[in-house]
Amino acid sequence: MGSICQQLSLFWLTIFYMLVLHTHKKGGMFVEGTGVNWGTRASHLLPPDITVRLLKDNGFNKVKLFEAEPYVLQALGRSGIEVMLGIPNDYLASLAGSVQAAEAWVMQNVSSYISKQGVDIRYVAVGNEPFLKTYKGMFQNITFPAMKNIQAALIKAGLGRQVKVTVPANADVYESSNGLPSNGDFRSDIRDLMISIVRFLQESGYPLTINIYPFLSLNSDPNFPKEYAFFTPGSSAPIVDGALTYSNVFDANYDTLISALEKNGFGSVEVIVGEIGWPTDGDKEATVENARRFNQGLLDRVSKNKGTPRRSTPPDIYFFSLLDEDVKSILPGNFERHWGIFYYDGSIKYDLLMPDGQKLVSAKGVRYLEKQWCVLSPTANIADPEIVNSVNYACSYADCTSLGYGSSCNMLDVRSNISYAFNQYYQYESQQKGSCGFSNLSVITKTDPSAGKCRFEIMIDVGKHDLTANVSSSAGGATLFHRGSANLFQGGAIWRTLATVVFGLLLWIK
């Protein structure tokens, strides 16, 4: 009998070993806690099935979505990827006002995908940074009722234990009067509300989700010590807080929240970092080199299972973000469209060593439009008054943020500057006939005009990919974007970019 048991044990051990090797070879040996945000605000969306494969190939076993988009959820079905499913802020009022509305939302967007599609939904994120200061209290009275109604709906659907409720908050929900983490507390105007929400989370066994952006700390304060934004030991003067020492802003920011929780009796509440990352364009500090440095430092912490001085257990983190998104609001800055670890098409921006020891791999099976670009005609006179109007028109639709100060295409000469704007519009319009018109000032070329770090894009041919929904409707929806980037403000940001481009053109023309 003992011999049979030993043989069976050896058999199952062998099977387990073979499975581990097989999984590792396929690039799917996931490290617990490695997640990423998947946004879809792109004019030419990387097909969801290709995106899911990109996630798996690079070891991301958790994904955070900003809303329930059918074609995305269907692609995630039976993928083995855990999902945090977001509810946009503009849904909060209806969900807060009616438990029936919450039940309908859960039935349509959670229950059906779990039961019919095999989507592994673990969390419902109610709202997205709803207490951001710039919202001026717009969602303050409806977020908590919406959370409770969603919880009730999940319980009624039999998913009360399987799916947890959370709320992604911006780091501005807490503060420290003297700048030390140990003095952390919730923001005075929402302190009572935050205590009620955190008590609800603790009693229910749910996590609090927080978004932390060291890049924004650097971007918003010209006196911020740059090295303090990164994770390099000894690279900046540390902050000493009693017996604890802080060498980077992430640890200090996170522990300010932990202090706020402990101070109010919620020291055991789980915290998830819902968004953290570094952009690669649109600002002088938004560079590929800085993004690689920051994200690699964060990944190294993940692989070492490293926590913070105040909480040794590391949080689950969701990198922001997987892909660039060229139609996002740029109210916070031109960098908003360049947070991706990958370019919009799933190609690699920079090397990263993942916690499983593998390097990043690009998306597979992507099909592109024809290799041709729209550029300023060699015979065109840059003093032609129609040029400014044409650039103005092109950049009012397409993404010209890479032309801004400190960005990857800022070094172009005037003709290349104009050509970049023309090509962005041409690609945005999927190279349709007539989209390279511009008052006969432009021509189509087969020679790639890219120069230095400036990429003249060729877009994905979405017509050759089988999408299960109208992607363009998603890109232009009314959802409020993360960190308060509301659609209604987008025009003003675009015009600021246009003003920079046009002003530069006028200087050249003069």
Which token pair is 355?
Answer: 């916690």
Closest CA to 423 of 451, 455, 379: 455
DSSP secondary-structure letter at 359?
A: B
Q: Which helix (H) or strand (E) holds 36?
A: strand 34-38
Q: Distance between CA atoms of 221 and 229, rounded to whole angstroms?
A: 12
How far, in Å, CA of 44 to CA of 70, rounded?
Answer: 17
Q: With 0-12 CB in 10 A as exposed, 13-18 as middle and 19+ as buried, what is 194? A: buried
Helix, strand, or coil (residue 392): helix
8-state DSSP, 195: H
Architecture of domain 31-337: Alpha-Beta Barrel (3.20)
Residue 122: CB atoms within 10 A of its CB come to 13
What does the domain layout of the chain look like in residue ranges?
A: 31-337, 373-509
> Which residue(s) pair with 165 in the sheet?
124
Give the number of residues written for the chain.
510
pLDDT in tens, the chain (510 residues): 444 444 444 444 444 434 443 443 333 333 465 899 999 999 999 999 999 999 999 999 999 999 999 999 999 999 999 999 999 999 999 999 999 999 999 999 999 999 999 999 999 999 999 999 999 999 999 999 999 999 999 999 999 999 999 999 999 999 999 999 999 999 999 999 999 999 999 999 999 999 999 999 999 999 999 999 999 877 778 999 999 999 999 999 999 999 999 999 999 999 999 999 999 999 999 999 999 999 999 999 999 999 999 999 999 999 999 999 999 999 999 999 999 999 999 999 999 999 889 999 999 999 999 999 999 999 999 999 999 999 999 999 999 999 999 999 999 999 999 999 999 999 999 999 999 999 999 999 999 999 999 999 999 999 888 554 433 333 333 333 344 333 323 333 444 445 444 445 544 444
pLDDT at 5: 45
Which residues make beta-bridge pairs with 164?
123
pLDDT at 233: 77
- The reported pTM is 0.87
The DSSP secondary-structure symbol of 334 reads G
Q: Which residue has the tokens 């995630």?
A: 76
Residue 453 CA to residue 403 CA, distance in Å, equals 12
Token pair of 398 as six digits: 């397409």
3-state DSSP helix/strand/coil percent for the chain, to nearest 5? 45, 15, 40
How many Cα atoms occupy the beta-carbon half-sphere of 48 within 13 Å? 20
* SS3 state at 167: coil
In angstroms, the first-to-last Cα distance of the chain is 94
* Cβ-proximal residues to 71 (8 Å cutoff; 6+ apart), any chain: 48, 467, 468, 469, 471
* H/E run at residue 95: helix 92-97
Model pLDDT, residue 489: 30
Indicate the Cα dihedral angle 144, 150, 153, 157, nearest 10°: -150
**Counting Cβ atoms within 10 Å, is residue 359 exposed (0-12), middle (13-18) or buried (19+)?**
exposed
**C-alpha–C-alpha distance, residues 76 and 49, integer Å:** 8
Number of neighbours of residue 401 by Cβ within 10 angstroms: 28
If we measure between CA atoms, which residue out of 245, 247, 261, 297 comes closest to residue 276? 297
Q: Which two tokens stand for residue 420?
A: 């970049």
**Residues annotated catalytic, as ranges:** 129, 275
> 454 is written with which tokens?
């400036």
Instruction: Compute the distance between CA of residue 117 and CA of residue 280 in angstroms, rounded to an integer.
Output: 35
CB 8 within 8 A of CB 292: no
Question: DSSP labels for 232-272?
Answer: -TTSSPPEEETTEEE-SHHHHHHHHHHHHHHHTT-TT--EE
pLDDT of residue 33: 58
